[in-house]
Amino acid sequence: MATNISTRPRSNPYAPNWGSKIIKALTNFVPTLVAIVVFLLIWQLLCSGPNATLPGPIQVLQDTWDPLIIDPFFQGDGTDQGLFWQLAASLKRVAIGYFLAAIVGIALGILVGVSTIMFRALDPIFQVLRTIPPLAWLPISLAAMRDAQPAAIFVIFITAIWPIIINTGVGVQNIPQDYNNVAKVLQLSKPKYFVKVLLPATVPYIFTGLKIAIGLSWLAIVAAEMLTGGVGIGFFIWDAYNSGAISEVILAILYVGLVGLLLDKLITFIGKLVLPED
Amino acid sequence: MQTLSNINVQLNDAPLDQDAFLVIDNVSKVYPTPSGPHVVLDGVNLSVREGEFVCIIGHSGCGKSTLLDMVSGFRQPTEGQVRLQSEPIVKPGPDRMVVFQNYSLLPWFTAFENIYLGIDSVWPDKPKAEKEAIARDHLALVGLAEAADKKPKQLSGGMKQRVCIARALALRPQVLILDEPFGALDPITREELQEELLKIWTEHQVTVLMITHDIDEALLLADRLVMMTNGPAAKVGEILEISFPRPRNRSRVMESPLYYELRNYALDFLYRRCAHDDVE
Ligand SMILES: Nc1ncnc2c1ncn2[C@@H]1O[C@H](COP(=O)(O)OP(=O)(O)OP(=O)(O)O)[C@@H](O)[C@H]1O
Ligand SMILES: [Mg+2]
């Protein structure tokens, strides 16, 4: 084997070095791993006394392994569904509400950003409405829609729309004066200005809004579903709590956190695709 | 015209040629401010011949950019009028292309696309191949044919400013307006670009109005150097005739005895007769 090595060309110092890459990944990952282990240990210690009100991690794993963890695709009657279907139902509501909020929010944001009159007229209203907690919309929404499903979607919509409107508006207002001056000397037509200057300049701001909005939507859907019921991770948590299955609550919460993280990463990823370098 | 030794100076009480190619006719600009109206320019008169290269110099804040903004049409005079070929200027347009003080390329487009955008907007009906050829020719004109597909971020400051000049010239403007175009560049790049601009101007014979803080730059490039008095209420102080023969090159200009006379005259105007006594 030694002869083999000596005949190899010398490695290029500028080529990616796999050894150092793996070491770098490890040094990034090891602290996280240590923190998780320490966290689990503390949790286990705190919950192992005879008076503990919550299960420790080992208990949670034992309680939920069969069938919740190993069979997420279980399909029973009514709300008796595997965790995958519960999450999928919640994600579907979020997707519809969030998608509508993105379309309406970007349009309104551009309107407010372009027109001073519209800004003066609408911005104070937006500033008041955006501070309303998502769940405060639920009763109105239920009263108006008379059905839990569209009411939950409306809550997502109304939660997600404000950061999208406001960030888009700020983005349009912050288009550098130089770019607008260029558009004026070149006498760009309105549609050309929109596509070639306004949109590209605003896209980073739009994605800031979209990212905040996806986090808020996911926060709101869990709370809304607890109240509206039906298949969905929020009602699953509430239902498990009411039947005393705290381990199931904890497992579901963990899934909620992981899905929330994935949603955030998804929007960041799409943002990176739309905005190459930067 | 007055003759002081061999320097030709036009004083600000000289009559204005009302029929010149570009006329800045008794222009004043007043900004309303919380502490009352702020008179930036007060009765500026200047006439420019077609194909002339005019540099404007003056202390910071005296209103040079404000003046050229009224030629490009971004601002309107409070009083007076700016006319190009007898037509009053009311708004910006591609017949008066501007090379801005900061780089103003759109960062999401390549150098080529930045130039193409203007061409496509000004001549929407030209065939695409012709518009692309114009863009390519003008990139080549400023020596950047190879950088066509680079984004502004990948270009040096000097290269960006070259693209801006190419974008402006591609639209065949009647007037080219440059607001301290080389101010942010290092001295070597600045000299290169000055020589390039000189060459391009000689070939295109476009009328140029250029703000500068650099007397040597003005002496190399300009036919006349407009020296402004200090603000507030600045006006044209004196106009120096720069009569070096063309085509010029830097070393020949600098060897001329007239060069030092002109330079000293301008320095004397700026730093003695219009010295900055108040704080900025
Ligand atoms: N929109 C505005 N409102 C009020 N005052 C203004 C406005 N724009 C410019 N000014 C004032 O007008 C004066 C002239 O400004 P201008 O930018 O034309 O100067 P300048 O000669 O180009 O200076 P510099 O050499 O630093 O670029 C300054 O005192 C500035 O504060
Ligand atoms: Mg200026």
Q: Please write the tens of the pLDDT for every residue from B29-83.
A: 999 999 999 999 999 999 999 999 999 999 999 999 999 999 999 999 999 999 9
From chain A, the residues in CB contact with B98 under 8 A are 181, 185
Q: Which pLDDT tens digit goes with each residue over B241-255?
A: 999 998 899 999 999
| Cα of A115 from ligand 1 centre, angstroms | 26
CA nearest B160: which of B117, B236, B120, B101?
B101
Question: How far apart (Å, rounded) are the C-alpha atoms in residues A176 and A198?
Answer: 10
B96 close to ligand 1 (CB < 6 Angstrom): no
Q: Find the CB nearest B104 among A181, A187, A192.
A: A181
Shortest distance, CA A125 to any CA of chain B (angstroms): 30
pLDDT digits (tens, 9 = 90+) for B184-236: 888 998 999 999 999 999 988 899 999 999 999 999 999 999 999 987 889 99
Whether A181 and chain B come into contact, CB under 8 Å, resolves to: yes
Choice between A188 and B1, residue whose per-residue pLDDT is larger: A188
CA B228 to ligand 2 centroid distance, Å: 13
**DSSP notation for A151-171:** HHHHHHHHHHHHHHHHHHHHH
A234-251 residue pLDDT tens: 999 999 999 988 999 999
Q: Count Cα neighbours of B202 within 13 Å in the Cβ-side half-sphere.
A: 13
3-state class percentages of chain A: helix first, strand second, coil last, to nearest 5 = 80, 0, 20
CB contact under 8 A, B93 and A181: no
CA A64, CA A246: separation in Å to the nearest integer? 10
**Smallest CA–CA distance from A178 into chain B, residue:** B104
Report the predicted TM-score, pTM, of the whole model to 2 decimal places: 0.82
Q: Which amino acid is at A124?
A: P
3-class SS at A48? coil
Q: How far is the CA of B29 from the centre of ligand 2 (A)?
A: 15
Atom 3 of ligand 1 has which residue's CA nearest to it? Answer: B31
Give the helix ranges, DSSP H, for B124-186: 128-141, 157-170
